[in-house]
Amino acid sequence: MTPTRAASRNRLHDSTHRGLTRDGHTIAYTVHGDPAGVPVVVLHGGPGSGSQPGVLRLFDLACMRVVMVDQRGTGASTPRGRLRHNDTQRLIGDLEVIRAELGIARWGVVGGSWGAALALAYAGKHPAAVSDVVLRGLFLTSKREVRRLFVTSRARASRGWRALMHAAECERASSLSSACVRLPAMRHVQANAVASAWRAYESAILVQTSSRASMSRKKRMPGRDDATTAKYRIQAHYLMHGCWLGERRLIALAKRAVAAGVAIRAVHGLRDPVCPPDNLHRLMRAVPAVQGRFVDAGHLASDPRLARALIATIREAFLSR
């Protein structure tokens, strides 16, 4: 099914909005599609981005029950940008509580970028709760990837990179990542400036490898100062702590999930400038059971080629039985 046809069918199905309160956080989530359909939870990227409704076009809501969760401090979850009691283990705990609230015995997990890392971590921690995993643009939570974003990729968007260096009051390229992850401790004015420059730099990198359609969707996303700063507060907080994972631990969790019978499929853009294709190669070498597919596309799920591959992979994982 093409993305357009899937979106047309999906408009026929209503959604419900719910909330879960834990540790002073209200975690917002929505449920879409057929209540009796194949259950799947969608994990957004960032960290800090919040759920994107456009992702629903990847699913056939006539026969799927799709749960979209705004992780702590993101999207519609409140307090926005809150860092206290906000870490990977607590996000995993939230997923288990939501699954139990919805009466779901086992569900599939679909995650992109940071959400792909969280999907592997969750499946490794709770394999009995997971049927299958589908990944897009895997982030391995390594220092190597963070350095690539802040240092190696500067040639892709030199103007945006210089603006970020200036906003972070950083003099050496090698210090930029450590300067940016201190965003939560910055004065309000500087934090806003760094968050805005960080967002612009990421967008400038993405635009070079993304289709015109996918970038036009990204430009329509809200860019208010408070929302942008909240997003990058979360992202900085997670990057500062290595997302409480790291590549070796994440791969070990993927191995544990596979050993317990969880099938893992992955789609990755060959021109992904944020999460390099080698990330998926690394996972597949370490965990040969992972079924990987490379596509001539960038990082965003809204890229038409990546979207088509994801739709096919999701159908194969959840609807081909």
Among 32, 142, 299, 302, which one carries the catalytic annotation?
299
Active site residue 272: yes
Report helix, strand or coil for 194: helix
Number of Cβ within a 10 Å radius of residue 317 = 22
Return the beta strands (E) in 23-82 as ranges: 25-33, 38-43, 64-69
Determine the Cα–Cα distance for residues 248 and 286; give it in Å rounded to an integer: 10
Number of Cβ within a 10 Å radius of residue 261 = 11
Q: Cα dist. 280→81, 277, 285, 291 in Å?
A: 30, 6, 9, 10
Among 113, 131, 153, 211, which one carries the catalytic annotation?
113
DSSP secondary structure letters along 122-167: HHHH-GGGEEEEEEES-----HHHHHHHHTGGGGGSHHHHHHHHHH
Determine the Cα–Cα distance for residues 43 and 151; give it in Å rounded to an integer: 27
| Residue that has been written with the tokens 């317990």 in this structure | 260
Determine the Cα–Cα distance for residues 258 and 260; give it in Å rounded to an integer: 5
Name the residues annotated as catalytic: 113, 272, 299
